[in-house]
Structure 1
């Protein structure tokens, strides 16, 4: 076996292959092209669904937790823990993937379940929490998150308001005095690729609520509700964080976490690459293979392949990407540090066949990568 290895660092192919399956098929294809080649693999994620999988793959332990899903139903989720650091994934607790029958609930979906996972990690005594906030189902400003951690959100009669973004319009008072006491002792970092503010034409409602099922009238209701909510939070904490970059992440969870919980924010892919030891696997690599199900303009805004490519390019290591389909031009890919893109649709133009036979096609595609990028 000669010096130099291929490092395969991929996210899932959503709807067809898990990240671990993607890595296995790529490794198989590369070894089919050259059985003596050294291949190393690492799961990567950007803070959305798949964040826990990346942490578990990197040697974190799984701690099961039962919480409320986005519309209140019990959900079996977990957090990952290693050396005093916990990784929490909002998507797995109360994200879009947890909606019963994938039925959107723009006014009533809540972030409460994510707060319950955070509370479990706090009570376990961790010193640092990495909170991946992609893939949320709610637009509640993080109100449910705060309630799960001890905040009281009251209407004019002194009753707790119902969960979800819509009912926040009835808020009259917020009491943050009983927030979980260990929040003062823990470093809380949000992993997100979203830099939007909470309010306005680039805010959580305008940009993301339509994807969560909100029509025009519901968007107007949610914007007014988040304005009421944030005015009361501002009064409680003495600081207006509504326009802070990232406040609009996860339907406003970014805002609540930064304004009320003292969280900071880092690009999700950078944070996850650190946690999974990606940089330590780069020395000696002669090629990095990255990818996800679809390469498109969203990829360029901080998704896993773009982060992997940037880190590898900084070390002078060539990068190619594999994917189900690519909507990027060759120039867009090159500008992001990816010198060549290999798509399943290069082998099979029918998208339904690509989804059905993704594993077989990905192995064949990886064999092509191996033959076109031989050792030394």
Structure 2
């Protein structure tokens, strides 16, 4: 029997790699003769870069960048075999980089993310994957595009810095100085956000408040975003503001689609393709996946649904181990997952569950394999 392990990390307690190690230990306790294989996966959000770099034995490159508030800091991106790069926006422009008291999307910029992209192209890389979760920005991607040489000008011809409050000042766009390698480079954006750029379901009104925007800020940002988008679309001859995913990462999705001709793909599907998951399924009898918390969202672009659907297509049973189950988790059964085992084995608070994560996970994995063993003995 061959068992494949492909679980997401349990945020704050267990990495994808450690989960796979615990699954391997549990499997061999119950099935000593089983063949096991581990594959590290993630859904395109924070942590995806580390997962992909480790799985593919890539390397890291660290460079100085501008942070969300324009401060000097350092950020890393991954370099993969085949001259590919994987970039996480959160490394340079993430919400976690801004102290809570200073969070204000009128002031934050995605400039540092553009610096990472530019550096990758300077290294000769022409295939770039960009994860755009966890952003601190609502600048429509102006900052990132400015770092790539695009000039956003006000009505007096002065160059704008590219933060949220600059959106409404954009009068024209000059792309003549755009990094020359852009035209030679393939950009893939990893995101499962389906929001358009504008409107009640757009970047500003959906995500602005959690980034520190007040009601007044939201109105200013939305008005500015509409002006910026109209001018950008006219300059590039495109209509991308209404496209699903344009509103991701405070509008960075819009900028990548509009100026870089990026392709927007599901994060988990992109990662599964990168790690050649379908190839690893060949000869596999059982797959174990999971995540820290399973609810209705698990069926939409998360690791268990991505893995489960690939297994379903291949006719291979898949089971999941999760830290906890919340409302709507059972929808995962429509995504190729046959059963879910929880790590919580008694009354405890989150703090205790996190502190005992390894012990609880190993116990849950053993219970899962023992249940499978019973099923195999039934006549």
Q: Which TM-score band (shorter chain)?
A: over 0.9
Which runs of no fewer than 5 residues in structure 2 stay unpaired? none
On the 8 A contact 2:68/2:94 being kept in 1, the answer is yes
User: How far has the Cα of 1:185 moved from its partner?
Assistant: 0.7
1:28 aligns with 2:21: no
- In the alignment, the residues of structure 1 paired with residue 347 and residue 39 of structure 2 have an alpha-carbon distance, to the nearest angstrom, of 27
Going from structure 1 to structure 2, the CA distance change for 1:368 and 1:95 (only over 3 Å counts) comes to same
1:15 aligns with 2:20: no
Which runs of no fewer than 5 residues in structure 1 stay unpaired? none
Going from structure 1 to structure 2, the CA distance change for 1:76 and 1:189 (only over 3 Å counts) comes to closer
- In the alignment, the residues of structure 2 paired with residue 103 and residue 318 of structure 1 have an alpha-carbon distance, to the nearest angstrom, of 48
- In the alignment, the residues of structure 1 paired with residue 159 and residue 35 of structure 2 have an alpha-carbon distance, to the nearest angstrom, of 58
1:62 aligns with 2:54: no
- In the alignment, the residues of structure 1 paired with residue 59 and residue 289 of structure 2 have an alpha-carbon distance, to the nearest angstrom, of 25
- In the alignment, the residues of structure 2 paired with residue 196 and residue 270 of structure 1 have an alpha-carbon distance, to the nearest angstrom, of 19
User: How far has the Cα of 1:336 moved from its partner?
Assistant: 2.1
User: How far has the Cα of 1:121 moved from its partner?
Assistant: 1.0
On the 8 A contact 2:105/2:139 being kept in 1, the answer is no
On the 8 A contact 2:294/2:322 being kept in 1, the answer is yes
On the 8 A contact 1:58/1:277 being kept in 2, the answer is no
Give the match for residue 177 of structure 1.
176
Q: Which sits farther off after the overlay, 224-233 or 16-25?
A: 16-25
Post-superposition Cα deviations, 1:174-230, rounded to whole Å, max 9, x if no partner, equal 211111111101111111111211111221112222232223222212111211211
On the 8 A contact 2:295/2:329 being kept in 1, the answer is no
On the 8 A contact 1:13/1:293 being kept in 2, the answer is yes
Give the match for residue 196 of structure 1.
195
Give the match for residue 5 of structure 1.
2
- In the alignment, the residues of structure 2 paired with residue 365 and residue 102 of structure 1 have an alpha-carbon distance, to the nearest angstrom, of 40
- In the alignment, the residues of structure 2 paired with residue 20 and residue 66 of structure 1 have an alpha-carbon distance, to the nearest angstrom, of 29
- In the alignment, the residues of structure 2 paired with residue 28 and residue 72 of structure 1 have an alpha-carbon distance, to the nearest angstrom, of 46
Which SS does the other structure have where 1:43 is aligned?
coil
On the 8 A contact 1:33/1:368 being kept in 2, the answer is no
User: How far has the Cα of 1:166 moved from its partner?
Assistant: 2.3
Give the match for residue 288 of structure 1.
287
On the 8 A contact 2:77/2:86 being kept in 1, the answer is no
User: How far has the Cα of 1:327 moved from its partner?
Assistant: 1.2
- In the alignment, the residues of structure 2 paired with residue 140 and residue 332 of structure 1 have an alpha-carbon distance, to the nearest angstrom, of 35
Which SS does the other structure have where 1:288 is aligned?
strand
Going from structure 1 to structure 2, the CA distance change for 1:286 and 1:145 (only over 3 Å counts) comes to same
- In the alignment, the residues of structure 1 paired with residue 307 and residue 134 of structure 2 have an alpha-carbon distance, to the nearest angstrom, of 20
Which SS does the other structure have where 1:236 is aligned?
helix
User: How far has the Cα of 1:348 moved from its partner?
Assistant: 4.9
Going from structure 1 to structure 2, the CA distance change for 1:347 and 1:62 (only over 3 Å counts) comes to farther
| Larger RCO, structure (CA 8 Å, separation 6 or more) | 1
- In the alignment, the residues of structure 2 paired with residue 190 and residue 209 of structure 1 have an alpha-carbon distance, to the nearest angstrom, of 21
Q: TM-score w.r.t. structure 1 length?
A: 0.93
Give the match for residue 43 of structure 1.
40
- In the alignment, the residues of structure 2 paired with residue 53 and residue 128 of structure 1 have an alpha-carbon distance, to the nearest angstrom, of 18
- In the alignment, the residues of structure 2 paired with residue 56 and residue 339 of structure 1 have an alpha-carbon distance, to the nearest angstrom, of 30
Give the match for residue 232 of structure 1.
231
Going from structure 1 to structure 2, the CA distance change for 1:36 and 1:100 (only over 3 Å counts) comes to farther
Give the match for residue 299 of structure 1.
298
Post-superposition Cα deviations, 1:92-135, rounded to whole Å, max 9, x if no partner, equal 23222333469633222221111111111111112211111122
On the 8 A contact 1:141/1:252 being kept in 2, the answer is yes
Q: CA RMSD in A?
A: 2.0
Going from structure 1 to structure 2, the CA distance change for 1:102 and 1:347 (only over 3 Å counts) comes to farther
On the 8 A contact 1:64/1:76 being kept in 2, the answer is yes
Give the match for residue 340 of structure 2.
341
Give the match for residue 275 of structure 2.
276
1:367 aligns with 2:378: no
Give the match for residue 164 of structure 1.
163
